[in-house]
Amino acid sequence: MESKYNYDLFIIGGGPGGNAAAKEASKYGIKVGLADFVEPSPLGTTWGLGGTCVNVGCIPKKMMHYAGSLYDQMKYFPLIGYPKEINKEFNWETLKQNVQGHISSLNFGYRGQLRKNKVTYYNKFARFIDSHTIELTDKKGKKETITSDKIIIATGLRPVYLDVPGAKEYCITSDDIFKLEKAPGKTLIIGASYIAVECASFLKSFGYDATLMVRSIILRGFDRGMAERLQTVLEKEGIKFLHKCVPVSFSKNGEKIICEYKNNENGEIKKEEFDTVLLATGRKADCSKINIECTGVNLAKSGKIIVDEYDKTNIDHIFAIGDISEGRPELAPPAIKAGKYLAARLYGGKTLTVNYENIATTVYAKIEYGSCGLSEEAAIQKYGKENIKVYHSEFVPVEWTFDVENEDSCYIKIIVNIKDENRVIGWHILSSHAGEITQGISVAMNCGLTKDKLDQTVGIHPTIAEEMTTIEVVKGEGDGKKTGC
């Protein structure tokens, strides 16, 4: 029977979640459309299909992190017998071109996947006319209207600009950093999120002066002990911190940006010049731009869309996935799962929903911080201090011993619920390759990992990951520092 709508399913947003939903839905023989349009940042930066993760998030960030780690390892070269002096001159333009070249190939790949799956793609801005009708506008202002039986909103978030004079005129965000035409030079990063920490880390690795302006604490929401250890490493690596400070204004002096800032503890006002100021003060939803009000969809105070466990809004045929959904983690992998599972439920008769517990993540800083499950603070709050036990270990991996002057160490913290057969409820690690290690741990935790199972596991020697199979020291009963192999 012919539908009265142009599409059975239309998706607004071409990020990881939207693309996953479109490709999965197309398997069931329905007519699928997808619209994606990137409004330029105040600096004029825009990008192609694939969303934040592919274009201005996970992918370029990880490439920059890896490049920085290679640069950091140059100090080991003389220690392993490399006979030549290493040329440490860094070229921002070369790195930028290589990063953007890879991203362009991913943009092309996404378009090809949609075409292969017979998904109609619109590089146009989507805006609701009513709950089934969407107006599409291209970059030249030409408009057309389509209708759809069901609609998925997957528009993600965009960076917050501070309400401070000069912020939009002179500052950049993570939307811009990976496409800068010239090297960032001396950089001030305002914020203390994982984005701020990661950007400061790779910029410092490239030899640039990097300063973090922190209003309160770094990595809010992460384990405090781990965040403080990471901050110590960053400071030792030469990243500067302006603690308890907030910007007052930004202005220009020739090519330099002057940041006037206030210390909230003593009220002191200071000024400093920078080549680049990067705002990393959070991301926000702006559903008003897509005129969501006309649909009757309920929004949270945050501006995000309220959904149930099945990603459905209060309007039966409208759904939301990914960062734009209230209460969901702001990460690409759960958005991909949500998009795929939602389409399978709508058209494939499936019932699976995303398990949002034990979603692992990693901060790609000078030393990586991998995390899965509860922080120590959250574990105490949920189960009570008397019902948890924290094991920890501080150690130096074999590969770091080439540099005898290196005082850094890796650190692992494992939190268990002693009332539930010592089930692992929190995992935290500061180390090289922390992301790779933590991904495996998240699988084990979702299978009910216990401390006994870790103890019974034979490790791979000598690896960083092996350490989790030999941890015996309880926090508070010893410092966990390991000697020997």
**Domain definitions of the chain by residue range:** 7-159+284-347, 167-281, 361-469
Cα separation of 206 and 71, whole Å?
Answer: 7
Q: 3-state DSSP call for residue 238?
A: coil
**Domain 167-281 class?**
alpha beta
Cα 81–chain centre separation: 38
Q: 3-state DSSP call for residue 350?
A: coil
Composition of the chain by helix, strand, coil, percent to 5: 35, 25, 40
Cα separation of 33 and 147, whole Å?
Answer: 10
**At a CB cut-off of 8 Å and minimum separation 6, what does 258 contact?**
250, 251, 252, 271, 272, 273
Pick the CATH number of 361-469 from 3.40.50.1100, 1.20.1250.20, 3.40.190.10, 3.30.390.30: 3.30.390.30
Residue among 53, 93, 90, 94 nearest 72 (CA): 90
Provide the 10 A C-beta neighbour count for residue 6.
17
The answer to whether domain 7-159+284-347 and domain 167-281 are alike in fold is yes
Question: Which residue has tokens 């921002």?
Answer: 92
- In this prediction, residue 1 carries a pLDDT of 58
- In this prediction, residue 78 carries a pLDDT of 83
Structure tokens, 225: 């002990």
Question: Which residue has tokens 């920490």?
Answer: 197
Q: Are 151 and 11 in contact (CB under 8 A)?
A: yes
Provide the 10 A C-beta neighbour count for residue 31.
18
The architecture that CATH gives domain 7-159+284-347 is 3-Layer(bba) Sandwich (3.50)
Q: Are 193 and 200 in contact (CB under 8 A)?
A: no
Cα separation of 230 and 366, whole Å?
Answer: 9
For the stretch 301-325, pLDDT in tens is 999 999 999 999 999 999 999 999 9
**Helices 376-383, 224-236: crossing angle, 10 deg rounding:** 170
Given 65, 243, 433, 461, the catalytic residue: 461
For the stretch 148-197, pLDDT in tens is 999 999 999 999 999 999 999 999 999 999 999 999 999 999 999 999 99
Cα separation of 361 and 219, whole Å?
Answer: 13
Cα separation of 333 and 325, whole Å?
Answer: 14
Q: Are 361 and 429 in contact (CB under 8 A)?
A: no
Could you say which residues of the chain have pLDDT below 50? none
In the annotation, is 243 catalytic? no
Structure tokens, 432: 């090289």
Beta strands in 254-364 (DSSP E): 256-263, 269-274, 276-279, 283-284, 318-320, 361-363
Question: Which residue has tokens 């996935």?
Answer: 321
